Amino acid sequence: SIENIYTKNFLAQKVHDHYHQLAARNVLVNIVWSPSHVGISGNERADRAAKESLNMDLTTEQMQLHTDLQSCLRESIISKWQNAWSFSNTKLSEIQPTIMTTNRPSMNRKNTVIIRRLRIGHTRKTHGYLFENQDPPYCECNEPLSVNHFLSQCPLQLEIRSKYHIGMDLKKDLSLPKSIINVLNFLRDTNLYNFI
């Protein structure tokens, strides 16, 4: 780590800084790597003192590397975010209970947008009426139209849903890669694909 002049390790950077300050004053510094402390006088006494200090009730300031702090901070932020997410009352949190992303198939932008809209439950087909100042839409089976309805409840789509093995578990259908592909194929077959 000390050999690398571009190191991000805080302690190694400090060593580099002190080395250059001493070199600027024409002080010759040799940094030598020692594989062990064997044969160095006083080492046994130093080891004993270090071991004894473990049993003492002392508080010491411990320097943390920024990488250690980053990891700890990231875990704390994710934990707080997950906690807030778990108690939020959104359609997306019902389908995606964790904030960490799951394995998703690589898709083009249009398919990605479609799946995201389905997850939040807001599509042009189900919520477009809000922009046109009209009444909420109804399905051909006379039920209010919603993502949940056409993906899992509509009796008119039962046969096509069965063909693509969707509709039993919306959370799974909009999360698992194979199920996502099936949902997109279902939307194409039912001519809903371009209205999401």
Same domain for 122 and 151: yes
Structure pTM?
A: 0.56
User: What is the pLDDT at residue 169?
Assistant: 87
CA 182 to the chain's CA centroid: 25
Same domain for 115 and 50: no
Same domain for 113 and 181: yes
Same domain for 114 and 184: yes
Q: What is the mean pLDDT of the chain?
A: 83
Same domain for 70 and 59: no
Picking from 131, 129, 123, 177, the residue whose alpha carbon sits closest to that of residue 151 is 123
Query: 34 falls in which pLDDT band (50, 70, 90)?
Result: low
Same domain for 121 and 46: no
Residue 38 has pLDDT above 90, yes or no: no
Q: Which residue has the higher pLDDT, 135 or 39?
A: 135
40-50 pLDDT, tens digit each:
666 677 777 77
145-178 pLDDT, tens digit each:
999 999 999 999 999 999 999 988 888 898 888 9
- Give residue 171's identity as a one-letter amino acid code: K
